Amino acid sequence: MTLERKTDRAFRKLEGIVNGILVDSIIEDSEIRQLEMWCSDYRDLCEAHPFNQIVPYINRILAEGRISSEEMETLQWFIGQLYQDSVREDAGLAAGNTDSVAGRAAAEAAREAAVDRLTGLLCGIMADGSINAAELATLRECMQKNGASENCSRFGELFRTVETIPENREPTPDEQVQLKKIITTLVGPC
């Protein structure tokens, strides 16, 4: 994997994690640990630009052991500012030309970007060990918005399961167990 591709994937996953943590506006210690795990997973990138600008902010959060919703939103904004190219893969899919080699490559890059963000979102959602109605609604919205992820067979069981849960209600304990099992199978322990 090229350094650029690894950097793109790391940023998209971080973006997804932060979005997943912010969904319910309650930030638990376990969610802060999810940021620590991201830093550990991408330690080799943390010294290089643009990570060297955002990792000190994350390290401050980790040292304090707490973060407010406002600080988390600042982190979300900071990620967006540092990684404005995060939509470049999506632009290829939006162009709609999948007949050419370049069009197919752009469509594949858009799918990969959607999967990376979804993976991060799932880790952020699962960081506190539960899935509530707000997180389920965000997951449902993400799936509907990102047909590219939906078409990835790897996520088929998750999409089908989410669609069986009525909107605007908390998942039952059995549905929680089923969702956690599926998500853990997809992204591993978060």
Q: What angle do CA 76, 10, 69 make, to 5 degrees?
A: 20
Instruction: Give the mean model confidence (pLDDT) for residues 147-173.
Output: 83
Judge contact between 155 and 51, C-beta under 8 A. no
**Which range, 24-38, 63-77, 163-177, is most confident?**
163-177
Judge contact between 127 and 20, C-beta under 8 A. yes
Distance of alpha carbon 104 from alpha carbon 131, whole angstroms: 35
pLDDT tens track for 43-72: 999 888 888 888 998 998 888 888 888 888
Residues 6+ apart with CB under 8 A from 17: 34, 35, 38, 120, 121, 123, 124, 127
Distance of alpha carbon 146 from alpha carbon 62, whole angstroms: 32
Task: Write down the pTM of the prediction.
Answer: 0.80
pLDDT tens track for 70-103: 888 898 898 888 876 444 444 444 445 556 788 7
Q: Which of 108, 35, 23, 109 is nearest to 65 (CA)?
A: 35
Where are the chain's structural domains?
3-187
